[in-house]
Amino acid sequence: MRLQVNCEDRLGIARELLDILTSQQIDLRGIEIDRVGIIYLNCPEIEFEQFSHLMSQIRQLDGVTDVRKIQFMPSEREHKELKALLEALPDPFFSINLQGKIDLANDAAEMLLSKQRGDIVGENVQTLLGFNFHRWLEKEQAAKRSEMVVIAGLDYMMEIMPVYVTDESEQSVLASAMILLKSLSEAKMPVAMRQISGDNGFEHFVGQSSRFKHLLAQAKKLALLDAPLLIQGETGTGKEMLARACHQRSMRREKPFLLVNCVSMPDNAAETELFGMASSATEPGKKGIFEQADGGTVFLYEVGEMSAHLQIKLLRFLQDGTFRRVGEEREMKVDVRVICSTQKKLPDLVAAGAFREDLYYRLNVLALVVPPLRERPADIVPLADLFLSQFAQEMQQAKPQITDDLASYLSQYAWPGNIRQLRNILFRAMTQIEGSMLKVEDVQLPENESMTLINEENLDGSLDEIMKRYESGILTNLYRSYPSTRKLAKRLGVSHTAVANKLREYGIGKQ
């Protein structure tokens, strides 16, 4: 029960109100006094007869002009209004106390971190967001600042704002801080903000399988070296993104990263594009890709498609970093790291005479092999969740939740187009979905592509690795028709335990 007492501003009136409450044995939970002559009382609920008697006694006090029952005390109303306002914010919001712990977080923050409110409140902000709060207090004097962060694979602009209040002596005192995360897409991001701290680009990679973690650990080591790097993998596996991350983590990150698509580059213009053109009487000289990237990285996409003529030119450049512009005698020297990607097997091209053997060994100093998505099914649902978050941001709509059936369905699909195909399939589903849940019927997957076939491309590795891939393909396809371990065990004529162990090993079934 909250009461608003309108009264004259006279000495002793608050004391007389408290005496009335004491005489009726009513507990006082809180009192607030307004400067304009209003006293607010917070008491437990009482019976109607006692309430009527209380109101009568208060009205009889000298100086009281009105008394009424209200829903909230002023401080309660302000707190609830502020909380409702913060909850309505579409961007994740956090209130931080002076110990660097989170006091308040909104629904958007819950959704971003995939945590319950109780698990967020009381947590250290550095643990959750990587922001060193105490350093901000001591070294930066709690000044407002903005910085780029990557959370759950998405880019955000983190705005940190100090909250000052006025004390009794009218002095401003730091009471807390607020953190607001504003989503940022790569296309809208200022170029200067793309220099990401921390792992320098690897934060955007999402996955939890052992193969994925091994790839990232290996890539982070090789990124720090300065030798040529060859990235191999099927189409759509993210080779270009991995190359960019390696550049971002290297000592060359402040210099350019330039991409050359060896597939789409016409041979007659390719040499000029790569090495530049000499000055003439009518035309000024033109810098080539290698000259523009001096100090940085050149990424040769699908190097296996490079013509024989360009292979000779590239081999000479890799030997000592020197080249000549087309039509020029003077040699130039630049410092460039070359990263290449290919979905073809270069040793096979070498054997067929389509790729120079000496160039292959020049390029294959350091190597990374990106596994196809079908060989790391544990990463499919985390990737799908990331893509849905990105699409929700771009379309400015709520992010749908993936049902358990759809998670299982996606994990069992072979994904011949790998990550690119997964992203495209989910984008199409996102444009057509109605409701808050993404279900199996919302996703259109070509049935004939779900089969894992034995061909030259998946005969890599030892016999044991080949047999495991084949076994995984059989179980994946049969599980769709026999979606329980007992039914599948009966179909295959083996024990229930053996099938359960195999399904667990390959990540088949519900996640």
Per-position pLDDT tens, the chain of length 511: 899 888 888 888 888 889 889 888 888 888 888 877 888 899 998 888 888 988 999 888 888 888 899 888 888 888 787 778 777 777 888 999 999 999 888 888 888 887 888 888 889 988 888 888 888 888 777 888 888 777 776 778 889 999 888 877 778 888 889 999 887 654 344 433 333 333 446 777 888 888 898 898 899 889 989 899 999 999 899 999 999 999 998 889 899 999 998 887 777 678 888 888 888 777 778 899 999 999 999 999 999 988 888 899 899 999 888 998 888 888 899 999 999 999 988 999 999 999 999 999 999 999 999 999 988 889 999 999 988 988 888 887 888 899 998 998 898 888 988 999 999 999 999 888 888 899 888 888 875 444 444 444 455 667 777 788 778 877 877 776 677 888 788 888 888 888 888 888 887 875 4
At residue 308, φ and ψ (nearest 5 deg) are -60, -40
Domain match, 211 and 341 both: yes
Residue 210: domain span: 205-369
As a whole number of angstroms, the distance between CA 488 and CA 352 comes to 44
Closest listed residue to residue 63, CA positions, set 15, 31, 29: 15
Closest listed residue to residue 310, CA positions, set 259, 344, 356, 279: 356
Domain match, 95 and 44 both: no
Domain match, 210 and 353 both: yes
Final residue in a domain of this structure, among 335, 353, 369: 369
Note whether 109 and 93 are within 8 A (CB).
yes
Asked if residue 353 is part of any domain, the answer here is yes
Asked if residue 82 is part of any domain, the answer here is no
- Judged by DSSP in three states, 451 sits in coil
Task: Please count the other Cβ atoms lying within 10 Å of the Cβ belonging to residue 90.
Answer: 13
348 to each of 99, 244, 343, 351, how far by Cα in Å? Answer: 61, 27, 12, 5
CATH code for the domain of 147? 3.30.450.20
For residue 511, the surrounding DSSP H or E stretch is none
At residue 151, φ and ψ (nearest 5 deg) are -125, 125
Domain match, 186 and 209 both: no
Note whether 125 and 102 are within 8 A (CB).
yes
Domain match, 253 and 365 both: yes
As a whole number of angstroms, the distance between CA 485 and CA 498 comes to 9
CATH code for the domain of 390? 1.10.8.60
Domain match, 277 and 310 both: yes
Domain match, 234 and 174 both: no
Domain match, 312 and 248 both: yes
Note whether 174 and 98 are within 8 A (CB).
yes
- Number of independent structural domains in the chain: 4
Asked if residue 199 is part of any domain, the answer here is no
Asked if residue 81 is part of any domain, the answer here is no
